[in-house]
Amino acid sequence: MKKLKNKLTIKKNNPALQPKVENGNSKIQLFEIFLLIIGGALFIFLFMLLKEFISPILIYISILVILYPLRNYIVVKNILLLSTGLILLWTIYLLGNTLFPFFIALAFAYIFSPIVTKLELKRIPRWLSSMVTVSVLLIFIVVSVIVITPIALVQFQSLLNSLNKVVSQFTDPLISGNYDQLINGIGINPEEFNRLIKEKFNLYLEDIVSLSLKGALSLVSGFAGILTSLLNIILIPLLIFYLLKDFILFKNKIKKMIPPKNRGLIISIYSRVDKILSQYLRGTAIIAILDGLLVTAFFWFIGVQYSVVLGVSSAILYFIPYVGFLIMIGITSIIISLNPTSFSAEIILALSFLLTLHTIENFIIAPQIFKKQIGLHPVLVILSLFIFGYLFGFFGLIFAIPITALLVLFLKEWEESHGDEDGISSLLEHEDEN
Is residue 76 assigned to a domain? Answer: yes
Is residue 51 assigned to a domain? Answer: yes
> Higher-confidence residue: 255 or 431?
255
Burial (CB < 10 A; 0-12, 13-18, 19+), residue 102, is: middle
Query: What does pLDDT average to over the chain?
Result: 73
- Band of residue 206 on the pLDDT scale cut at 50, 70, 90: low
In angstroms, the Cα distances linking 67 to 41, 61, 62, 72, 139 are: 16, 10, 8, 10, 54
pLDDT at residue 247 tops 70: yes
Is residue 85 assigned to a domain? Answer: yes
Q: What pLDDT was estimated at residue 294?
A: 92
Is residue 77 assigned to a domain? Answer: yes
Whole domain around residue 86: which residue ranges? 35-94
Is residue 390 assigned to a domain? Answer: no
Q: Is there a contact between 287 and 366 (Cβ–Cβ < 8 Å)?
A: yes
Whole-prediction pTM value? 0.60
Task: Over range 247-269, report the average pLDDT.
Answer: 80
Is residue 368 assigned to a domain? Answer: no
Is residue 67 assigned to a domain? Answer: yes
In angstroms, the Cα distances linking 347 to 329, 340, 341, 354 are: 10, 13, 12, 11
Digit-coded pLDDT (tens) for 364-410 = 777 666 555 556 677 777 788 788 777 777 677 777 777 887 788 77
Task: Over range 421-427, report the average pLDDT.
Answer: 59
- Band of residue 423 on the pLDDT scale cut at 50, 70, 90: low
Give the span between the Cα atoms of 329 and 319, in whole angstroms. Answer: 15
Q: What pLDDT was estimated at residue 21?
A: 44
Q: Tally helices (H) and strands (E) across the chain.
A: 16, 2
pLDDT at residue 293 tops 50: yes
Task: Over range 354-370, report the average pLDDT.
Answer: 78
Sign of CA dihedral 358, 360, 364, 365: negative
Give the span between the Cα atoms of 109 and 186, in whole angstroms. Answer: 59
In angstroms, the Cα distances linking 113 to 100, 125, 278 are: 20, 13, 10
> Higher-confidence residue: 152 or 214?
152
Give the span between the Cα atoms of 105 and 239, in whole angstroms. Answer: 6
Q: What are phi and psi of 258, to 5 degrees?
A: -75, 135
pLDDT at residue 11 tops 50: no
For the chain, percent of residues with pLDDT exceeding 70: 64
Nearest C-alpha neighbor of 327 from the set 339, 310, 308: 310
Q: What pLDDT was estimated at residue 388?
A: 79
pLDDT at residue 202 tops 60: no
pLDDT at residue 434 tops 70: no
Is residue 256 assigned to a domain? Answer: no
Instruction: Indicate the number of domains in the chain.
Output: 1
